[in-house]
Amino acid sequence: MQNQHVCDELLAKYRAHYGREPEALAYAPGRIEVLGNHTDYNEGYVFSAAIDSGTFFAAAFNDLGVNRIVAGDLMREVAFPLAGAKPVQGEDTWANYVIGTVAGIAARQPQERGIDAMFLGNVPMGFGLSSSAALEMCTAKAVCALRGIELDDVTLAKIGQAAEHDYAGCSCGLLDQISSLCGQYGKLVKTDFRSLRVETVDMGPSVCFLMCNPHVKHALVDGQYNSRRKACEDAARHFAAVLPHPVAALRDVTMAEWEAHKAGLDETAAKRAAHPIGEDERVLEGAKLLERGDLEAFGQLLYASHESSRTLFENSCQELDDVVAVAKTVPGVLGARLSGGGFGGSVVVLVRAEAANDAAVAIAAGYAAKTGKSCDVSRIQPSQGATVLRKP
């Protein structure tokens, strides 16, 4: 099992803290966004992948009438009631991801007994790899296994999303949770955010990814995000009025239609709309390329995606642009783009597996030479999604 050392450490800490073995154990990975930027709220398509690091969650029933959760790295315990739990304030806000997930499950089947739980993970922090979704989904898998509840992946993802919204205060979509649940080794997760239909697309073992973190602070992310989303919604209303077919979101508009009718929008709104429209077409084209095994052409779509982010959506920044520019010069690299919401964050690089280690060194060195600053680079392999490892 991957990350066995993390699992072993968790089990040892669980036994030492609670004095017994857990009855249920689950694992869930973090995720990367590969292609399809700002398409989720435009009801479009996204390519993502579960990664080869994640979080383990161990649990057993108690008869104390409360739930207890321990963060295995901090060895701090938080107790919360079986019903009506409120978000934690102060230094233990990490518990809110667990509390919200447990509350979401309890809303579907009320708890009769408390649980003693502990989690531990190894998702690299600061890369935008969604350690929060990994925690939510391993919590959901373990608690459902412990209590004998069967819920489908979409329901589990929505429980995790509600935990983010209502307990952690983050208005996320479903991408992170779905990716964590549905990943498979060597495959990308392709999600349709209108139907929530999920399928996996094979990449094979010849390639992997590098995540490059140049330590860019997110500036005015909420305001920037909201302005981009409003521009997309305004553009969708414009196209709904001028096109002869129904338009519920930008997913329903082609680039040809955008070109023919963009004159009715102001210049900024037209540019913003072009990005998710183009991203949808790149994801669909990428699926065809992967089916043919054309990884070089797929990599070019990542470069095109980044250029669209840089010039049309304007959600990149100089540091991310510099990482992409350096990556283009490195042997074995097939493509690179910003990953996630933008305005900072990280760059995902598609690279041939045999060249990955040398490429990681070259990108870090090239970025340092270009900017005088450091860039952390981590190798990532598309991997298996969330799974139950032990149940009563």
The catalytic site residues sit at: 176
Assign 59 to helix, strand or coil: strand
Cβ atoms of 202 and 186 within 8 Å: the answer is yes
Burial (CB < 10 A; 0-12, 13-18, 19+), residue 222, is exposed
- Which residues share a beta bridge with 320? none
**Distance, CA of 173 to chain centre:** 9
Count of residues making up the chain: 392
CA-nearest of 171, 264, 208 to 377 is 208
Give the single-character DSSP code of 220. Answer: S
Measured distance CA(29)–CA(31) in Å, rounded: 7
Measured distance CA(365)–CA(370) in Å, rounded: 9
| Beta-sheet pairing, 387-390 with 24-35 | antiparallel
What values do phi and psi take at 346, rounded to 5?
Answer: -130, 170
